[in-house]
Amino acid sequence: MRASLSPLLWPFLDQTLFAAEAKRPPRFLFVVKSSGLTPAELVPQEWRAAKVTKGEERGWPDRLRPSDSLIDLSLQDKRLSPSLRSLESLKDHLTILQGLSGKMCRGGHSAWYGAMGCYLTGDEGSPGRPVYPTVDGRLAKALPAIFPHVGLTLGGKVLSGVKDSVVYPGISAIDTDRPLPYQASPSMAYQNLFGIAVRGKQAQAKQKLKTMLLDHMVGDVRRLQRDIGSADQEKLDHYLAAFEGLRDRRRELKGLEATIRKHAPTVTDKYVSDIETDRIEAHFDIAAATLISGLSNVVTVRADTLDVTYRGLGISKHVHGIGHAESVDGMTPVDARNRIREFHVDQIARVAAKLAAVPEADGSMLDNTLIVYFSDAAEKHHGSCVEWPFVLVGGLRGKLRATRGGRYLQFPEYGQSGHRTIASLYLSLMHAVGQTQDEFGNRDLNLSKDSQLGPLSELLLSSVQR
Amino acid sequence: MFYRVFLAILSVCSLSGAAEESGSQQSAFVAQSFLDAHCVSCHDGESPEAGLSLSRASSNFKEPATVQLWQRVLEQIELGAMPPRNEPRPARADRHDLSRYIVEQLARVGQQSTIGFKRRSPAYGNRLDHERLFDGSETGPAYSPARLWRLGPQAYDQIVEKLGPGVRHATAIHQPFMLDETRGTIADFAAQQFADAATLQLLMMNCETIAKYQTTGIKRREQGELHIERRTPAAFQPIIDAADPVSVEQIKLAVQYEFNQLLGRSPTKQEQTEYVDLFRQSAAIAGNVEALQTTLMAMMLQPEAVYRLEIGFGDREPDGRRKLSPYELAFAIAYALTDDGPDKVRIPDVADGAGQDPEHSPSLLELAEAGKLSTSDDVERVVLAFLNANTMAVADYRMFRDDHRIGNKRVLRFFREFFGYHHAPKVFKDEKRIGNDDQFNTERLVNDADQFVMHLFDQDQDVLRRLLTSSEYFVAYLGSLEKIAEDLHYIKTNVNDQGFEFNSAYVRRAEQAGRHPIPIESASVRNYVQFYNLDPLEWDYPTQQPFPLPKRQRAGILMHPAWLIAWSGNFDNDPIRRGQWIREHLLADTIPDVPITVNAVVPEDHHRTLRDRLEVTRADSCWKCHQKMNPLGLAFEGFDDFGRHRDREMLGEMLTIFTDRHQQANFAAVNQTGELIASGDAEIDGPVESALELVERLASSQRVQQSFVRHAFRFWMGRNETFADSPTLIAAEKAYAENGGSMKSLIASLLSSDSFIYRK
């Protein structure tokens, strides 16, 4: 169902939770790549010989050696793997998280909503039903803003190519049956988020006309609701809520006009470029500006889809073909995967640097923003979800345990004592914003219940946990 | 029955404390009694049916496993799937009460039942018991829910073009009403299509663009020069030109014009007053032109321009159903048959005999206004007249023609969504195997398949049987001899074309050898005929089509390369999904999702045949479902994953599709045997030699015919069937069969049925 309720009408928003910290709530940037995030390629160079085994077949990625106990090491004095090297200067804010599983999800090309929601849904071509909200949706509800959630993407569903409109990639949901939309066009995303700053100095009259139009539309929809009685009320409710939401949002944006103008990104040719890397860069610029200007506290960037060809990186093959270890002109498929990951990480480092330059309390905005990089296909092109790696950059105002020089955390492998699932990672994020629930999504029925309850104690400071 | 009374009492008693708890316990006991009476004889013991034991079902709904269990029970009960047909059926009221108990318990733990979602989703349509739908035991009355049906993407495009002809050439218009494009499902289900905040965002942008295009114009810079593109209706010009406040009459004329374009009707008095007021208030702030733009936007955004109303404003029946009014019917029929509104859909008057100029035929709207569109007979007559008047005789597949002029567009869309062959260009094929232009080549195949299905639709005899078994195909056909001559002339004379020398030489050579050349101007695109095992250099192109391809090789749409590619994987055939497609689309059967614990992967060892590699599915836990799919799909192993017929399968990595170049390759003989089991029609069950025998078998089955009718129902009603729709389905099948396999009669029967005409 393509029905996302107007974000401003969510009745259950906890408006007071962060009232005291309204000016510096925690922020989240989820970066979701397709085709899996290769665990072996996250291992620092010094440990590679000990922790990585060669790929099973020629052209396939190397594999991370599983561990039967928790590995918790400092990354200080260690050289990050080549594709992560732009994070060297941000190592104090870096956690490499390995060994979690997510076998309550579907796996394959995409776990769809399951990747951030921890449940089985969808099939090869369709995302299926958002049975529960996903973690970005949950956080969006907990951290209200003018735009509770901003989704930016290159394409729609995982097998599709680059799009230029609003799409539903099927990975985020604000609630049951309420998928979250993503904007695939950087220029339209800019217009929606920062448009008021551009138009602000133009005729006041135009602004008034817009408000008048929205008022008229609210009245018009209500009149039809009266005329047709109970038939399909839900649809008109959504349409009405959409107008009301727009009207209220305009009012709020107006109040923030100066701030928005100050932080709006500079529009360049990249916003209308056909080159995939240009569009991704524009999306990351928008994501950073959205967080810095306070327009939203939760942004998800769907960094690519399987039908994307990274021409801007000199790669001649779709991500899909690379995932199948096909040959690529002038490089191995593993090289191509590394180059794509490096490009994503460069973007993340760019955003992190921008956030680090914004002073906040006694640190910077990066201390209170967590960037979460992972894949909706877990650990490989056809994800098995038996391991699900994450790269975390940033902080949550000291609620996240930090290790000087960065941290490498690898949980015991699937089935071993101490093994944890991605649900616990998401619970950690929820706990960090005060949402102290014990369970998230559905459980993996092959694992013990206890191992799936509560946040990752290794990740959070004990004061945050219940 | 005792527990029913008990549940009724429970529902009105106090929900407080101990009473509630004891009530829950007792109603759980009662629910268990239902299971004991009707379910546990099969679902119990060491190996219960479907792995589901119901002898001591937990009633602790706080446990996720309990929730899942009862969701399954609810689903089976609501869909009539359980108990099986040969077991005593529980009374309807008892089933209803059990369902209510489960829904209430779910609600207490904050869970929703999943059955409602499934009922609305096309993927779950087959869950409803097939026999019960067609055995005549259900008597209706049939109706669709009173509803709002959001415009489809193609219908929206037509409205944009109507309001602002050519606006797309001037600037970008975004599609706000995208549909799900999952392979093999009916895309446009009314209950699933919403206009929400994200849709509105796009709609607003489009409306602003169109309002400008209709008034002051859109600025466009080309090679340094500024162009202003606009299309201003005559009714707007006086307002744009006026220096002073304009008269109410002038505003009314503008409102009247836009309203008619949008909705095919005049505004009501109240609507007119509201738009005049909006104009005047806007004009006071920003002048006439801005006011006109704002008013136009308001009209374009009104809910009736986004949603088609199907409320049932007509007569009310004693049973509470209400008929669609003639105006509602005009819209419903227009969008069932075309992407245009009812003012543009013209119906030749069959009573006046053939040869009536379509331009002078009345529109659906005019028929409604004249009182000629109110009864079921009226609808049937109108639908048949329209379907007969639009044939492939005018189809145009010449180069550079994106619009192939197919009149029965919605019929074609049904065939595409049902068979899914139009997904062929979306199946990623490795470039090194297929070569360049793969997308373009597979689009050609889709064009060929379109002509194949629509030709059979026009002939309207034994449509389904011939769709499945005809060996007369279209390949690169342009529509007529004249059109072929036109494109050949272009190839021979267009000296500025980059490939002129090469292409004109090809045409000359073919003609000198006494063959008809393929009227395609690119050698790499001409190569696509190889998908049909035709030689692009030596083939004598048939100028009359369809023409027979060798009967021993392929027959019907399921052996059309477009279908075979659409239902193939990136590197291999996909017997599992082909089999699943046949199960779900032709046998009205269901295949459960892959279980959560299964990591379903076909071994990558390319030195074994695909059939051999699929042996992994023979494990007991897999085969239970795979036996319903694999033996159907494997019958198509006589084709490669590009749809080319083959006698042997190449082993090892295929480097190009031209297997002859693989000097060192190993081959295995193709085994294309298959089997139909538990089809629901015992007459057709049994082993088959190949896909050719399989499709003949399927084409002879009434079950297949009924499954086809069920899918057609879903497409034209925009929803899944219910048991109350049983009389509609039976009548549609009868209309099809009694008229010699007439698809047109089937559609006319569906659209004149109570399911289509009544709302409740």
The closest of B30, B5, B2 to B105, measured between CA atoms, is B30
Q: Is residue B595 pLDDT above 70, yes or no? A: no
Query: Closest Cα of chain A to B198: distance in Å?
Result: 7
Question: What are B398-404's contacts with CB under 8 Å, separation 24+?
Answer: B398/B478, B398/B479, B398/B483, B398/B486, B398/B487, B399/B487, B399/B490, B399/B520, B399/B521, B404/B447, B404/B450
Confidence band for B435, pLDDT divided at 50, 70 and 90? low
Give the chain A residue whose CA is nearest to the CA of B174: A165
Highest mean pLDDT among A204-213, B240-249, B292-301: B292-301
In angstroms, the separation between the Cα of residue B441 and the nearest Cα of chain A is 18
| pLDDT band per the 50, 70, 90 thresholds, residue B69 | confident
Whole-number Å distance between alpha carbons of A304 and A276: 9
Residue of A nearest to B600 (CA): A108
Q: How far does the CA of residue B201 sit from the closest CA of chain A (Å)? A: 8
- Phi, psi angles (nearest 5°) of residue B725: -85, 0
Asked if B299 contacts B747 with a C-beta cutoff of 8 angstroms, the reply is no
**How distant is the Cα of B625 from the closest Cα of chain A, in angstroms?**
16
Which residue, B255, B293, B262, is CA-closest to B158?
B262
- Max CA pair span of chain B: 97
CA distances (Å), origin B442, targets A161, B429, B469: 17, 10, 22
Sequence-ordered strand ranges (E) for B5-143: none
Burial B517-534 (b: 16+ CB within 10 A, else e): bbbbbbeebbbbbbbbbb
- Round to whole Å and give the CA distance between B650 and B654: 7
Best of B596, B602, B606, B625 to disrupt the A interface by mutation (most A CBs within 10 Å)? B596
Mean pLDDT on B124-152: 93
Distance CA(B722)–CA(B220), nearest Å, equals: 53
Asked if pLDDT for residue B2 goes beyond 50, the answer is no
How many A/B residue pairs have CB atoms within 8 Å?
Answer: 161
pLDDT at B508 exceeding the cut of 70 = yes
pLDDT tens digit string along B313-369? 999 999 999 999 999 999 999 999 999 999 999 998 755 545 456 678 999 999 999
How many angstroms separate the CA atoms of A343 and A270, rounded? 16
Ranges of H-type helices in B600-688: 610-613, 620-626, 630-633
Q: How far apart are the first and last CA of chain A?
A: 36
For residue B477 the two structure tokens come to 């056909």
Residue B498 half-sphere exposure toward CB, CA atoms < 13 A:
2
A384 → closest Cβ in B121, B430, B599: B599
Closest CA–CA distance from residue B313 to any residue of chain A (Å)? 9
Other CB atoms within 10 Å distance of the CB of residue B240: 16
Query: B51 Cβ partners below 8 Å, 6+ apart?
Result: none
Query: Which of A209, A229, A382 comes nearest B285 by C-beta?
Result: A209
**Amino acid identity at B603:** P
Contacts of B571 in chain A (CB under 8 A): 324
- In whole numbers, what is the pLDDT of chain B averaged over residues? 88
pLDDT at A23: 63
User: B396-400, B596-600, B688-692: which has the minimum mean pLDDT?
Assistant: B596-600
Give A443's contacts in chain B (Cβ within 8 Å): 64
Q: How far is CA A118 from CA A179, A383, A431, B615, in A?
A: 15, 14, 17, 31
Q: What is the pLDDT at residue A178?
A: 80
C-alpha of A12 from chain center: 22
- Write out pLDDT tens, residues B732-741: 999 999 999 9
Distance CA B445, CA B450 (A): 9
Are A426 and A135 within 8 A, CB to CB? yes
pLDDT of residue A1: 34
Residue A257 Cα distances to A196, A263, A355, angstroms? 7, 10, 20
Phi, psi torsion values for A232, nearest 5 degrees? 45, 40
Q: What pLDDT was estimated at residue A313?
A: 95
Q: What is the ipTM of this complex?
A: 0.84
Q: What is the 3-state secondary structure (H, E, C) of B553-571?
A: CCCCHHHCHHHHHHCECCC
How many CB atoms sit inside 10 A of residue A124's CB?
16
Strand A363-364 relative to strand A359-360, pairing? antiparallel
CA nearest B433 in A: which residue?
A: A326
How far apart are the CA of B609 and the nearest CA of chain A, in angstroms?
19
The answer for residues whose C-beta is within 8 angstroms of residue A372's C-beta and 6 or more apart is: A28, A29, A30, A31, A390, A391, A392, A429
The helix/strand/coil state of A173 is strand
pLDDT over 80 at B85, yes or no: no
pLDDT above 60 (res B17): no
Greater confidence, B694 or B114? B694
Residue A313 CB-density burial (10 A; 0-12 exposed, 13-18 middle, 19+ buried): middle
| Residue B725 predicted with pLDDT over 50 | yes
Which ranges constitute the DSSP H helices of A256-302? 257-263, 276-292
A241 interaction partners in chain B (CB closer than 8 Å): 196-197
Cβ <8 Å between A235 and B195: yes
3-state SS, residue B669: strand
d(CA A393, CA B384): 65
> What is the DSSP annotation of B578-604?
HHHHIIIIIS----PPPPTT-------
Taking CA atoms, what residue in B is nearest to A180? B198
For residue A442, which residues of chain B lie inside 8 Å, CB to CB? 64
pLDDT at B222 over 80: no
Q: State which residue of chain B sits closest to A446, comparing Cα positions.
A: B597
CB atoms within 10 A of CB B707: 24
Contacts B183 to A, Cβ<8 Å: 125
Enter the tokens of residue B625.
């479902």
- The Cα–Cα gap between A17 and A367 comes to 20
The strand pair at A298-302 and A359-360 is best described as unpaired
Chain B: give the shortest CA distance to residue A203, in Å.
Answer: 9
Question: Which pLDDT score, from 0 to 100, does residue B6 have?
Answer: 32
Q: Do residues B245 and B259 touch, judged by C-beta distance below 8 A? A: no
In 3-state terms, what secondary structure has residue B411? helix
Closest residue in A to B283 (Cα–Cα): A209
DSSP secondary structure code for residue B343 in this structure: T
3-class DSSP state of A437 = coil
- Residues B361-395 pLDDT 10s: 999 999 999 999 999 999 999 999 999 999 998 99
Indicate yes or no: CB of B146 within 8 angstroms of CB of A232.
Answer: yes
Strands A94-98 and B758-759: unpaired
Sequence-distant (6+) residues with CB within 8 A of A21 are none
Residue A367 Cα distances to A87, A264, A285, A299, A372, angstroms? 15, 22, 19, 17, 14
- Least trusted range by pLDDT, from B3-7, B330-334, B595-599: B3-7
Contact B128, B122 (CB under 8 A): no
DSSP strands (E only) in B415-557 = 472-473, 547-548
Q: Higher pLDDT residue, A433 or B28?
A: A433
Tokens of B82: 């359980």
Query: What is the three-class DSSP state of B653?
Result: coil
- Cβ-defined contact of A165 to B182 (cutoff 8 Å): no
Q: Two tokens at B594?
A: 């892959």
The answer to whether B157 and B109 have CB atoms below 8 angstroms apart is no
Distance of CA A359 to the CA centre of its chain: 24
- What CA–CA distances, in Å, run from A301 to A5, A392, B456? 21, 15, 47
DSSP-derived 3-state class of residue B161 = helix
Residue of A4, A209, A232 lying closest to B196 (CB–CB): A4
Across the range B706-720, mean pLDDT stands at 98
B205 to chain A: nearest residue by CA? A188
- Judged by DSSP in three states, A16 sits in coil
**Tens of pLDDT, residue by residue, chain A (466 residues):** 333 333 333 333 333 334 334 468 999 999 999 999 999 999 999 999 999 998 866 678 999 999 999 999 999 999 999 999 999 999 999 999 999 999 988 888 999 999 999 998 877 777 888 889 999 999 999 999 999 999 999 988 888 777 777 778 999 999 887 889 899 889 889 988 988 776 554 556 877 898 899 999 999 999 999 988 878 888 999 999 999 988 988 888 888 888 898 999 999 999 988 899 999 999 999 999 999 999 999 999 999 999 899 989 999 888 988 988 877 888 999 999 999 999 999 999 999 999 999 999 889 999 999 999 999 999 999 898 999 999 999 999 889 988 889 999 999 999 899 999 999 999 999 999 999 999 999 988 788 999 999 999 999 987 655 4
Contact across the interface for B430 and A321, Cβ inside 8 Å: yes
Chain A contact set for B150 (CB, 8 A): 235
